[in-house]
Structure 1
Amino acid sequence: MKNTILFLAVAGTLAIAGAAHADYKRVKTAKQFNSDIVGKKLTDEQGNVFVANADGTISAKLKSGKKFSGTWVWNKKFWCRNGVLDGKALGTDCQLWETDGDTARMTREKGKGKTTIYSINN
């Protein structure tokens, strides 16, 4: 019982500390997206690496070995990408992006879908 209480106390403290640490700011303009994200390596928790290139293309190196290619545009307050994964069209997904220093958070479906956290590297 003591171990369970200790575990819950530690887990709760870590969750609060993690929430307090993340101070994401929404990327609202193309200029800000270009400055914060474009041309930088974005690495997710699985080790997949993506780059939104200045020419509107997307480069990727996936751990699975699958091939990803795509294009992107800034549309109002969202980054919209059109991708192809191993020859299968993924369609367009407009995503909400937020940054906190060297970390980015992307949420699919205009902020209503799945969220992915990326480390940002130059």
Structure 2
Amino acid sequence: MRSLAIAALAALLAGPAFAELVKVDDQSEFVELTAGKTLTRPMVKLTVTPDGQIAGRGSLWDIEGSWSWQEGYFCRDLFWGGDALGYNCQQVQASADGRIKFTSDRGAGDSAMFTLR
């Protein structure tokens, strides 16, 4: 009986399982994931259009820029509130549960996780 109670408690305390992040290797796969969707995270909402544009809002400032796909990486040139954030090629990973992660410097730098809505 005690083991049944422990199993029930463990099931109640377990958080939701996250789907595994998988590297996005090509532009067509990336476009399929993001087309018609908004990338969101706290205080940030972005759209990444199939024709290479980025637009949205982060905190109180507009975000705009352009992107291309080069050698397996999402390469973007971004402006936030009019300030240039510069050009950077990023590794992209996505999950079946609607998360997408961008890691700067071709996967060696900082990362940001978004939800696709």
Q: Give the Å deviation of 1:113.
A: 0.9
Give structure 1 stretches of 5+ with no counterpart: 1-9
Residue in structure 2 matching 1:47, options 43, 46, 63: 43
Residue matched to 1:66: 61
Q: Give the Cα–Cα distance (whole angstroms) in 1 for the partners of residues 83 and 43 of structure 2.
A: 22
Query: SS of the residue aligned with 1:35?
Result: helix
1:23 corresponds to? 20
Please point out which of 29, 33, 36 is paired with 1:36: 33
Q: What is the SS of the residue equivalent to 2:60?
A: coil
CA drift of 1:55 comes to 1.8
Specify the code of the residue in structure 2 equivalent to 1:74: W
Q: Matched residue pairs, number?
A: 105
- Structure 1 residue runs of 4+, over 6 Å off? none
For residues 69-113 of structure 1, give each alpha carbon's deviation from its aligned partner in whole angstroms, at most 9, with x where no partner exists: 100001110000001122221210111111112111111111011
CA distance in 1, matches of 2:23, 2:53: 22
Query: TM-score if structure 1 supplies the norm length?
Result: 0.77
- Alignment-derived partner of residue 105 in structure 2: 109
- CA distance in 2: counterparts of 1:23 and 1:74, whole angstroms: 23
The CA RMSD measured in Å over matched residues stands at 2.0
Structure 2: stretches of 5+ with no match in the other structure: 1-9
TM-score by length of 2: 0.80
Name the CA distance, whole Å, in 2 between partners of 1:75 and 1:52. Answer: 16
Q: Which has the higher helix share?
A: 1
Q: Percent identity?
A: 25
After TM superposition, give the deviation of residue 28 of structure 1 in Å.
0.1
Tell me the residue number matched to 2:6: none
